Amino acid sequence: MEIRNPLVIVFKNDEKIQTHLYPGELSYKEYGILIADIVRHVANAFKVGENEVWEWVDKERHHQTSPAIEIKTN
């Protein structure tokens, strides 16, 4: 498989989670829809209710455990 035009890449590096966004032509609103889709996929993957995942999303929203750091590329 070859991945072209990624939207989001998330990986663990030295025990830290790194997230890279590639907005391209998408707006922040379209990314919001993408995030909601990911929540549904996570719930499905772990066989829990969607509301259980949203509960943890809301906890993180109100008390961030890690900052969003800008990654500069050349």
Q: Residue 34 falls within a domain, yes or no?
A: yes
Residues spanned by the domain of 56: 25-66
Q: What is the mean pLDDT for each group of 10 consecutive residues in the chain (74 residues)?
A: 92 87 91 95 98 95 80 55
Look at residue 72 in the predicted model and tell me its pLDDT.
Answer: 59
Q: Residue 47 falls within a domain, yes or no?
A: yes
Q: Residue 54 falls within a domain, yes or no?
A: yes
**pTM for the complete prediction?**
0.77
Q: Residue 4 falls within a domain, yes or no?
A: no
**How many domains are contained in the chain?**
1
Look at residue 14 in the predicted model and tell me its pLDDT.
Answer: 87
Q: Residue 31 falls within a domain, yes or no?
A: yes
Contacts of 66 (CB under 8 A, 6+ apart): 16, 17
